[in-house]
Chain A
Amino acid sequence: DAKTTQPTSMDCAEGRAANLPCNHSTISGNEYVYWYRQIHSQGPQYIIHGLKNNETNEMASLIITEDRKSSTLILPHATLRDTAVYYCIVRVWGNAGNMLTFGGGTRLMVKP
Chain B
Amino acid sequence: DGGITQSPKYLFRKEGQNVTLSCEQNLNHDAMYWYRQDPGQGLRLIYYSQIVNDFQKGDIAEGYSVSREKKESFPLTVTSAQKNPTAFYLCASSIAAGTKNTEAFFGQGTRLTVV
Contact = CB atoms under 8 A, between A and B. Distances in A.
Interface of A: 41-46, 49, 87, 91, 93-105
B1 to A, nearest CB: 15
Contacts of A43: 90, 92, 106-109
Contacts of A87: 42
A91 to B, nearest CB: 8
Contacts of B107: 43
B104 A46 contact: yes
Interface residues of B, number: 30
Interface string B95-110: 0111110111111110
Given A43-B92, A91-B102, A99-B33, 14 more contacts: A44-B106, A93-B102, A94-B99, A94-B100, A95-B97, A96-B97, A98-B31, A98-B50, A98-B94, A99-B48, A99-B58, A102-B42, A102-B43, A104-B41
